[in-house]
Structure 1
Amino acid sequence: MLQVALNGRRSRTESRFVPLTTPAIVQDIQLCVQAGVTSVHFHVRDKAGNESLRAADVAAQLLAIREAVPGIPLGISTGEWITPGERLQHIERWEVIPDFVSVNFGEPDHLEIAQAVLAKEIGIEAGVNHLSAAHNLIRSGLLPQCFRILLEPEEEELGKAIQTVIAIEALLSAHLTSRQSLLLHGTGYTCWPLLELAGSKGYQARIGLEDILYLPGGHEPVDNVTMVQYALRRSY
C-alpha cells in the first residue's frame, strides 16, 4: 500500500505545487489515485489556505473529495499545532468524519485526542516518531485499537533514522496483532531511502509533499503525482 501525504504544514513559499485550496486538493488526489495510491493523508485547509480542524472546513473538503474520488480512504492530521488548545473541541463537533486520522503519540494530550476520535468510530493511525512516543502508545492501552502504526523517525541523518526505527520495532513487536499494519516513512533526505526500506520489510509506505519536495537527487520541486509515479515505478 502506498499512501500519498498531500500537503502537511507546507506553504507555497516552499513549493508552488503544494495544494492548499479545495479544488487543488481534490485535483491532486484524483491524479494520485489514478496513478495508483490506495490511501490519502492530508491536512485540511480553510478558505485562506491555513491548516484547520474546524468542523465546517473538515466537512467541506471531505465531501468534495468523496464526490470526486468515491471509495478512497481519507485521513487527516490532528497535529496539536493546527489549533492549539482547541482541537479536542473541534473534533467533538465533527459531523462529517474522515475514515481515519493520525494521532501523534509524542504530543502531550495524545490520550484525550485518541479517545475523542475513537468515540466517533474514526480509525487511528498512531504516529510514533521516537521511542518515548512508542512507550506512550503502549501505556495508553489504545494500541490494539489503532489499525495502523506510523513509524516516522524525524532524524534527517539516515543512519540515526534507521536506529530509531529499529528501537521502535523492538519495543512494539510483542504488542502488535496480525490485524495491524506498519507504515514507514521518512522526512527530507531520508524519505526515499526509507521508502525502499519499507518495501524490503513488507511495510506500507507513503510519499508526498508533506515529507519531501524533490525526487531522489533532485533540486527542483515536483508535484505529488510525479513522486507517486516515481515511487511506483521503483516497484514499491
Structure 2
Amino acid sequence: MQVCLNGARGAGDGAAVPLSPRALGESAAEAVAAGARDVHVHPKSPCGKDSLAPGAVAATLAAVRSAVAALSLREAVPVGVTTGAWAEPDPAARVARIREWTVLPDHASVNWHEPGAEEVARALLDRGVGVEAGIWSGTDGAARFAASPLGPRVLRVLAEVTEHDAGAAEAAAVGLLAEIGGAWGRPVLLHGEEGGAWPVLALAARRGLASRVGLEDTLVLPDGRRARSNAELVSAALALPAAGP
C-alpha cells in the first residue's frame, strides 16, 4: 500500500493536509506505522504550490526519510515525488529541474498523457530514479504508453481513475485496466480519487492489485467522515476485504 500524502492540495483543504517538510515527515511516519510501505509526496514551495525546485525536493525527501527511518523498520520505505506538468508546465524546464536535483527520490511519477512525458521519464531513468508511469482514465495515456520504448523500463504503472462519481468509478477502472493490458509486464497500482477513491480501492483489493490512499486522493473515510490523517486512511484501506483464495 502506497500513501499519497498531500497531492496538489493546499491550506484550503484543511489542517490535516501536510504541506511543510516537517509536517510531511510526521505524516509519512504515522502512515508507515499504520501499514503503508511506499510514500508518494508533492514537495511544496514556500507559498504552498507544488514544486520541482531542487531545494524543495531535497528538504521534503530529507524530512520524510528521516522521520520514517526513526521507526527502525527492517526494510527501507521508498519515497517518490510528482513530476506533474502543473508544477512546471514547460517540458524542457521540467527536465532541467530533474537534472538539477541534488537529492534523488527513489521514484517519480510521470503522467504519460502530458506533453514531454517521454523526455521527463528518460531524464529520471538517466539519473537512476524509478519511473511510475501514470496512466489516467479519459486520456490517451494508455495508447502512448503501449507505444513507448521506455515501457519495459518503468518501475510500475499507476492506473489512475479520474471519475469522481462513485457509481461510474469502478466501471471506469475496469475499462482502464483493459486499456493498459499487459503494461509491458510491469506491476500495476490501481487507484481512484475523490468520490471514486474507495470503490476503486475496493476493486484493487478484490483483484489483488497494489493500490494507494492518502489525502491527495480523498479527504474522507469510507463512511463519509472527514479523515483526520493519512494514517487513518491507510488503516481503513488495509481493512478492505482482499481477494479470496
Question: Please, what TM-score do these two structures have when normalized by structure 1?
Answer: 0.92
Partner Cα distance (1:232, 1:103) in 2:
26
Q: Which residue of structure 2 aligns with residue 80 of structure 1?
A: 85
For 2:56, give the aligned amino acid: D
Q: Which residue of structure 2 aligns with residue 137 of structure 1?
A: 145
Q: Which residue of structure 2 aligns with residue 3 of structure 1?
A: 2
Q: Which residue of structure 1 aligns with residue 215 of structure 2?
A: 209
Partner Cα distance (1:234, 1:93) in 2:
41
For 1:44, give the aligned amino acid: P
> Pick from 93, 97, 104: which aligns with 1:97?
104
User: Alpha carbons of 1:51 and 1:183: their partners in 2 closer, same or farther (altered >3 Å)?
Assistant: same
Q: Which residue of structure 1 aligns with residue 34 of structure 2?
A: 35
Question: CA offsets, 1:10-51, max 9 Å, x none?
Answer: 112122101001110000001011111000001011333321
Q: Give runs of ≥4 in structure 1 deviating > 4 Å.
A: none
> Pick from 162, 165, 181: which aligns with 1:157?
165
For 2:238, give the aligned amino acid: L
8 Å Cα contact 2:161/2:196 also seen in 1:
no
List runs of 5+ in structure 1 lacking aligned partners. Answer: none
Q: Secondary structure at the match of 1:152?
A: strand
Partner Cα distance (1:174, 1:112) in 2:
23
Percent pairwise identity: 37
Q: Which residue of structure 2 aligns with residue 109 of structure 1?
A: 116
> Pick from 125, 150, 156: which aligns with 2:132?
125
8 Å Cα contact 2:161/2:176 also seen in 1:
no
Q: Secondary structure at the match of 1:13?
A: helix
Question: CA offsets, 1:136-182, max 9 Å, x none?
Answer: 111221111112111111112345433433333333324532xx211
8 Å Cα contact 1:215/1:222 also seen in 2:
no
Question: Please, what TM-score do these two structures have when normalized by structure 2?
Answer: 0.89
8 Å Cα contact 2:227/2:233 also seen in 1:
no
